[in-house]
Amino acid sequence: MGLFDKFQKIQQSIETLQQYSDSFFKVVLEEILSSTEAIIDGRKTILAGTNNYLGMPHRKECIEAACKAVREHGTGTTGSRMANGTYSVHVELEQAISRFLNKKHTIVFTTGYSANLSALSTLVGPKDIVILDADCHASIYDGCRLGGVQVYRFRHNDVSDLEKRLKRLIKKGTNILIAVEGLYSMLGDRAPLRQIVELKKAYGAYLLVDEAHSLGVLGEHGRGLSEEAGVEEDVDFVIGTFSKSLGSVGGYCSSNHKELELLRFASRPYVFTASSSPANIAAARKALEIIEKEPQLRSRLWDNANLLYGQLKEMGFSLGPEPSPIIPVRFSEIPKAFAAWNGLLENGVYVNMVLPPATPDNTALLRCSLSAAHSREQVEAIAKAFQKVKHLA
């Protein structure tokens, strides 16, 4: 068997998908015009698949903060946080996130992916148990795999199924960590967090919530689903990323457990990865300040999300279970989904195509993500483009 033989199935899948669309694997944003528009294949295109919920990448204040950080600290750190990679800007951002989330301790990581990888591979081990929502992000699964922890899944957002597993597993007399997300990235639905917290308390478990898609989006102050559900004090660990609402690159883990600080010495992805560039850190911190000062951004985001969700629902599309800045449009057949995706791109709208097995129910999704930076006219243009491909659904 040759080294690359194991990739033959992937190659075959790629060739099959290329029959539906020559451009699917070749989409390049040739010129970025704004947070909501780019040139794709020489044509001005509305971006409706970017996770850019609050329009931060093009905020003048964030750009200036990043440029200032480059001038003062250079383009990179060239070292891990445990070596020469901890700069004053890293510490200041950790303190700012702790203040914002009302948590005592925060560790900043190079990416949101490595935040989950670091936390889950270190907090729990082979003698512990993680019970996670079946729809959790790949980084949560990979963190568990790296830590060698025993993993059990419960059906997506099914509290009864979670309790069944807790009842059975609590008898083993070991530590149990429940892992869920605030806002799920495929269907745009929320975890039933209040009920999950009740079970966490009843069975003496720990709780980790990944707020990657809900930071800046949910809650009166934008702290995420934990704030919206009123259970912030009951969440042991909050994981997040800078790459969505904060418009940068990086991640964090926050907690009131003082032992979180020990992850700095025990987590391999933290110890052996170069720290985030000063520009990314400065941009994220400035974006966090803006989120605190401008709650109207969240209002605008939800106005856009509700508008598009309502219009697509009226057209008869099969959508996610509730309005959200993440709006999945479901297709039962992959060829139809590709035809619709091609049609949207031809009509100047880019969305994400998500295919099995990445989708929760083995259907194909055209995944829209709305932004506070979208104008009402752009949202209506997205809806009109979907109307033109409605016959393919």
Predicted confidence (pLDDT) per residue in 8-32, tens digit: 998 998 888 888 887 788 899 999 9
The segment(s) of the chain belonging to CATH 3.90.1150.10 are 5-58+295-392
- The CATH number assigned to the domain with range 60-293 reads 3.40.640.10
State residue 328's pLDDT score. Answer: 96
Overall size of the chain counted in residues: 393
Q: Which residues are catalytic?
A: 185, 213, 244
Closest CA to 350 of 13, 9, 19, 44: 44
Q: Which fold has domain 5-58+295-392?
A: Aspartate Aminotransferase, domain 1 (3.90.1150)
State residue 183's pLDDT score. Answer: 97
Q: Are strands 364-369 and 251-255 parallel, antiparallel or unpaired?
A: unpaired
**Exposed, middle or buried: residue 112 (CB in 10 Å: 0-12, 13-18, 19+)?**
buried
Q: Are strands 352-354 and 150-154 parallel, antiparallel or unpaired?
A: unpaired
CA distance linking residue 36 with residue 337, whole number of Å: 23
Closest CA to 256 of 94, 95, 106: 106
CA torsion through residues 351, 57, 34, 189, sign:
positive
Closest CA to 117 of 137, 146, 143: 143
CA distance linking residue 324 with residue 183, whole number of Å: 9
Residues 6+ apart with CB under 8 A from 54: 216, 245, 247, 287, 290, 291, 297, 298, 301, 371, 372, 373
The segment(s) of the chain belonging to CATH 3.40.640.10 are 60-293
Under-50 pLDDT residues of the chain: none
Percentages of the chain per state (helix, strand, coil), in multiples of 5: 45, 20, 35
Peptide bond into 278 cis (omega under 30): no
β-sheet with 150-154: strand ranges across: 105-109, 251-255, 237-241, 206-210, 176-181, 129-133, 150-154
State residue 337's pLDDT score. Answer: 93
